[in-house]
Amino acid sequence: MDEKNFENCLSNKIRTPYFTFVWAEDKNGLIGNDGQLPWHLPNEMKHFVNVTTGGVVIMGRKTYESIPNPPLKNRINIVLTNNKDYTADGAIVCHSKEDILDYVKDIDKPLHIIGGTSLFDMFVDDVNVLYRTVVYEEFEGDTFMPKLNYKYFQVVETMDGIVDEENLYSHEFFIYERKKLVNPFEKN
């Protein structure tokens, strides 16, 4: 399956807005080293851009500050921080999960959680789609993806990443969809 059609595998039951997680990890679940990706894989960055462009990206302050020349272009950028005085040019700043939910509830787009680990933990019960890249190597680092219970998800598509002179590491793209979709905007 080519990159352009990679997302078309989602079921027709999914309606926007819905939450996704988008991340890359090594074979041990490592996702970061000192605020940066531990590897250089242009193909994986292209995949990230293809998945998130046109949608909403939601991230913590450290993730936002790790982006070269933020905000991410052609996306609504939302930054979560406890700092009430924090400003982020070109981004919406929220201070709680409730602030985020209130802001995005009427946006008819996918809502991509892109890090850090506290946001993945915060939205683990609200996510319906996982865009996971596995880099089949071991790297040094200090940040790991929180454990997810994959029994609630099914793999709906996989695609091998290109390995060449610029993309030196074997990697694979996965899309998972929650077996029983959740709606974080419904009040319990």
CATH of the domain at 135: 3.40.430.10
Closest CA to 53 of 77, 73, 78, 69: 73
Give the count of domains, the chain.
1
Give the domain range for residue 25: 17-156
Query: Per-residue pLDDT tens for 82-126?
Result: 999 999 999 999 999 999 999 999 999 999 999 999 999 999 999
**Residue 1 has what pLDDT?**
45
Determine the Cα–Cα distance for residues 108 and 154; give it in Å rounded to an integer. Answer: 24
Beta bridge partners of 143: 32
Q: Does residue 117 lie within any of the structural domains?
A: yes
Q: Does residue 174 lie within any of the structural domains?
A: no
143: its two tokens: 């940040």
Query: Per-residue pLDDT tens for 46-88?
Result: 999 999 999 999 999 999 999 999 999 999 999 999 999 999 9
Q: Does residue 1 lie within any of the structural domains?
A: no
User: DSSP label at 147?
Assistant: P
Q: Does residue 180 lie within any of the structural domains?
A: no
Q: Does residue 107 lie within any of the structural domains?
A: yes
User: DSSP label at 108?
Assistant: -
